[in-house]
A and B are shown apart, each in its own frame.
Chain A
Amino acid sequence: DVKVTQSSRYLVKRTGEKVFLECVQDMDHENMFWYRQDPGLGLRLIYFSYDVKMKEKGDIPEGYSVSREKKERFSLILESASTNQTSMYLCASSLPKDGVSNQPQHFGDGTRLSIL
């Protein structure tokens, strides 16, 4: 079974702090994703990586950066946390597309981040 592990289930930080969210997958997947989930908005893509050291902005990258130094690990960084970044953060991984169809994304259990 694919395992995607997020380092923290709950995290409380203060405004202005630099925050690191870590994600590790054990299935040698090329693609990794960071989403935030807010009620009524579904999942919104923050950043996406399709290979080591490669990254691509998603729909809401402002205020975030990412790092992928090793294939299994994808880190999300909040450079200077603000209260509007309080949310549930989900990491996912997948294999590359198989023809027309996207491969399933496998998700971690999420990190609920509160910025005070």
Chain B
Amino acid sequence: TQLLEQSPQFLSIQEGENLTVYCNSSSVFSSLQWYRQEPGEGPVLLVTVVTGGEVKKLKRLTFQFGDARKDSSLHITAAQPGDTGLYLCAGANFGNEKLTFGTGTRLTIIP
């Protein structure tokens, strides 16, 4: 069974600070997705990265896929209370439709 470990599991920081969340595995994935889940709702896709080394930016969020396609990071610049939520990475497997979800990082931004 493939595993995706996210770190840290919990992160609580002040508004305006920067942070990085990590998603690591020993397995290679064909692509990797990041989702954010807010209380009482299902996860919502933020981004998909496909190529090793790829960097994608979504306003203050920067996503990077590792060169070997085994890991990924999410960097948030100048965090805002609206960034609060559970962040989940999900690796896509070659040749099938399934995703392997990470263990999750619960982020709280304090105003």
**A residues touching B (Cβ–Cβ < 8 Å)?**
4, 31, 33, 35, 40-45, 48, 50, 58-59, 90, 92, 94, 96-97, 100-102, 104-110
Chain B nearest CB from A61 CB (Å) reads 13
Query: Sorted from nearest, which 3 A-B pairs have the closest CB atoms?
Result: A107-B42, A102-B92, A43-B101
* A104 and B33 contacting across the interface, CB-CB below 8 Å: yes
Chain B contact patch, size range: 20 to 34
State A107–B108 Cα separation when bound (angstroms): 22
* A102 and B97 contacting across the interface, CB-CB below 8 Å: yes
Instruction: Tell whether A92 pairs with B97 under 8 Å between CB atoms, given A41-B103, A104-B33.
Output: no
Instruction: Tell whether A59 pairs with B1 under 8 Å between CB atoms, given A96-B97, A105-B99, A110-B42.
Output: yes
Interface of B is mostly: loop
Mark interface residues in B34-46 (1 if CB within 8 Å of A CB, else 0): 0000001111110
Of the A-B pairs whose beta carbons lie under 8 Å apart in the complex, a sample of 30, sorted by A's number, is A35-B101, A40-B9, A40-B104, A42-B4, A42-B6, A42-B88, A42-B102, A43-B43, A44-B101, A45-B98, A48-B98, A50-B97, A59-B1, A92-B42, A96-B97, A97-B97, A100-B31, A100-B50, A101-B50, A102-B31, A102-B33, A102-B48, A102-B97, A105-B45, A105-B90, A105-B99, A107-B41, A107-B42, A107-B43, A109-B42
